[in-house]
Amino acid sequence: MKKVEVFGTGCKKCITTEEMIKNKAQAIGAEIDLQHIYDPVEMASRGIMSTPAVMVDGKLVHKGGLPSDAEIEEWLK
């Protein structure tokens, strides 16, 4: 099971990103462990300064702005 982390301080785009990933996982039947990290201290200590950012299994795949549908599908496969 893939571990997907969304980093965001609670802004609209960060929440949309989380929902997009959740919906995509359901649509393609991928089982994921999805977490939303709101804590700016944790973001900073992991080197993230642009939100929303997405890490898959601890690897940064996206930051700043909304990801596209195709990108999300690629991560979850």
Judged by the rule CB under 8 A, the positions of this chain that interact with another protein are 7-11, 13-14, 40-41, 43-51, 60-66, 68
Sequence-ordered list of residues with C-beta below 8 angstroms from that of 15, at least 6 positions apart, any chain: 8, 36
Judged by CB, which is closer to another protein: 36, or 46? 46
- Alpha-carbon dihedral 54, 36, 73, 32, rounded to 10 degrees: 120
Please report how close the Cβ of residue 28 comes to another protein at its closest, in angstroms. 21
Please report how close the Cβ of residue 10 comes to another protein at its closest, in angstroms. 7
CA angle 1, 62, 10 (to 5 degrees): 90
Please report how close the Cβ of residue 26 comes to another protein at its closest, in angstroms. 24
